Structure 1
Amino acid sequence: MDNAGYSKWGGGSQDLPGGHWGRWEHCKQRFFFLALVLLVATILWAFILSILLSKASEQTAVLGALKEEVGACNSCCLGTKAKLQTTLTELGETQAKVLQQESALKELQERVTQGLAEAGRDRENVRTELFRVLEGIKFQNGSCEPCPKSWLTFQGSCYFFSEPPSSWEASLRLCANLSAHLVIIGGLEEQGFLSLHTRGLGYWLGLRAVRHSGKVQSYKWIDGVPLSFSHWNTGEPNDSRKQEDCVMMLHSGLWNDAQCSSKMDGCICEKRRSC
């Protein structure tokens, strides 16, 4: 068998012209082709890599710019936040000052109102004392108007005991329609006079509770003067069910707090005599 044409590269026997020299030329051509392919592949990879690096560089630049913008925005936001916090603090301080001034103004208003009411009460007390001295003389010469029929007279005032039961508000309106007001009891003498004329009923007085945060803090007469003289029944006032804001006089003359909407009691109206 003739093995002269056997080729290691082809995996079989071939008859190549020129013998060994022909085989060498053939191998050179194959090496050249492989080198050319490798070179082309390398160039392509280098080109692709350069493109990728260029893109990566651009992305890095963009990310850097974005990072700078984010940093600037963050700095701006921090500054704005600090300003807002400062403004909020100043607003809170201003609000606290306004509330403090409002509270002081309200307290001053209450003091002025109370002072005016007390001044009015003092004027009435002075008038009462003067009336005691002059009442006899003026009564003799008819200079004082008598109290209306079925009204009682005591120390210059006229009193009307209304017996039909009604609420405190309705009694207030009733007295106003009679050019009078719900009775204001200034002391023990007036209390004793009223107690003598009760007829087994209860009578509304011109006294109401001052309530704050659901609790009774004090009592005031309808002319705004705080309660000084009182004649409470035993255990009163008890503000039963936290709803007893009005005051009435029992048939015994003692006082009791009751619901203003209650319609179980009459009322006592009072007005000054005109002289």
Structure 2
Amino acid sequence: MASEITYAEVKFKNASPAAVAEAPPEKKNEHHPQKYPLCLPWLISLLLFLVCIALIIVFLVTPFSRGRAHPTALQQKFMEWQCVSRVLPGKVESWTCCPKGWRRFQEKCYYLSNDLMSWAESEQNCTGMGSHLVVINSKAEQDFLFEELRKSSKIGVNYYIGLHAQVVGQWHWLDGTPLSETAAFWRAGEPSNVDHEMCVVIHTKEVSHNNWNDVICKDHNRICQAEAVTV
């Protein structure tokens, strides 16, 4: 007799269903803001400060607009300057500068000496500073020098100007220009026009603005003059 095969379905309790492989969750493309160093604002502030310092040096100290590539003799001799602001119609602001301790009038600078030299030594001294003995071309300039000498704390008696003669009575400025009678400021009774008085000074003891005197070319104070520097 043939045997019978019986099939049965069997269920086991607590059996877990077949594991399902799960793919890992997709990572979201998160955007993180870029972080800057905390010292960045300080670096920017330092940079701006350095730029300001550079501009001050550029506009107020070093570069004189007249011949930066070819500085004047006056610029080469002095490191400290005093400047005043000037604004001309239709132009940008500029500065007119003289060496520290010099006096300024219009576009010129003046040095009043405290020591004594002969006329020739005085001119040599002025030249060595990039200037020359003063040449007075107007009453306004003469009045300015008169007042400056009165205000000077170390005033001398006589100050050489750039007027002299090689022939008695024939007065010429340093550049060879003859003296104009409309811009001559002699003391009363001067010039003496004698052969031993061939140089001219401003005599500070004179109360009048007409205070020139011809003298022997020996030791006196001096007034040097130079063109102001424009920045």
> TM class by shorter-chain length?
0.5 to 0.7
Look up the match of 2:165.
209
Q: Is the 8 A contact 1:205 1:247 kept in 2?
A: yes
What do the CA deviations read for 1:77-113 (whole angstroms, capped 9, x no partner)? xxxxxxxxxxxxxxxxxxxxxxxxxxxxxxxxxxxxx
CA-to-aligned-CA distance 1:142-172 (integer Å, 9 cap, x gap): 6335100110110110000012011001100
Q: Distance in 2 between matches of 1:192 and 1:217?
A: 24
1:193-213 C-alpha deviation (Å, 9 max, x unpaired) = 0001113421000001141xx
Point out the structure with the larger strand share.
2
Q: What are the superposed Cα offsets for residues 217-244 of structure 1, whole Å, 9 maximum, x if unpaired? A: 411100111101111111111134x211
Please point out which of 162, 171, 180 is paired with 1:219. Answer: 171
2:92 counterpart of 1:137: no
Note closer, same or farther for the CA distance 1:170–1:233 as it changes in structure 2 (3 Å cut). same
Residue 50 of structure 2 aligns with which residue? Answer: none
Inter-partner Cα distance in structure 2 for 1:182 and 1:235: 24
Corresponding residue for residue 184 of structure 2: 230
Q: 2:130 aligns with which of 176, 179, 183?
A: 179
Q: Once the 2 structures are TM-superposed, how far is the Cα of residue 182 of structure 1 from its aligned partner?
A: 0.2
Query: For the Cα contact (< 8 Å) 1:158–1:272, is it kept in 2?
Result: yes
Report the counterpart of residue 152 of structure 1 in structure 2.
103
CA distance in 1, matches of 2:136, 2:158: 15
| Matched AA of 2:145 | L
Match of 1:248 among 201, 204, 207: 201
**Contact (CA 8 Å) 2:159, 2:222: kept in 1 or not?**
yes
Structure 1 residues 110-139: Cα deviation after superposition (integer angstroms, max 9, x where no partner):
xxxxxxxxxxxxxxxxxxxxxxxxx7216x
What amino acid does structure 2 have at the position aligned with 1:234? A
Counterparts of 1:165 and 1:184 in 2: how far apart (Å)?
Answer: 19
Unpaired runs of at least 5, structure 1:
1-134
Structure 2 CA distance for aligned equivalents of residues 243 and 217 of structure 1:
11
Task: Give the letter aligned to residue 197 of structure 1.
Answer: E
Task: Find the aligned partners of 1:207 and 1:171 in 2 and give their Cα distance.
Answer: 12
> When the two structures are superposed, what TM-score results if normalisation uses the length of structure 1?
0.45
Number of residues of Structure 1 aligned to a counterpart in Structure 2: 133
Letter in 1 for 2:86: G
Relative to structure 1, the CA distance from residue 267 to residue 219 in structure 2 (aligned partners, 3 Å threshold; closer, same or farther) is same
- CA separation of 1:142/1:162 partners in 2, compared to 1, >3 Å: closer, same or farther? farther
1:52 is matched with none
User: Partner letter of residue 255 of structure 1?
Assistant: W
Whose RCO is larger (CA < 8 A, sep 6+)?
Answer: 2
> Aligned equivalents of 2:130 and 2:101: distance in 1?
15
Q: Does 1:269 align with 2:224?
A: yes
What is the DSSP-based 3-state SS (H/G/I as helix, E as strand, rest coil) of the residue aligned with 2:221? strand
Percentage of pairs with the same residue: 35
Q: CA RMSD in A?
A: 1.9
Letter in 2 for 1:245: M
8 A contact 1:239–1:258 mirrored in 2: no
For 1:152 and 1:141, the matched residues in 2 are separated by 24
More helix by proportion, 1 or 2? 1
Q: 1:200 to 1:173 in 2, by over 3 A?
A: closer
Larger Rg: 1
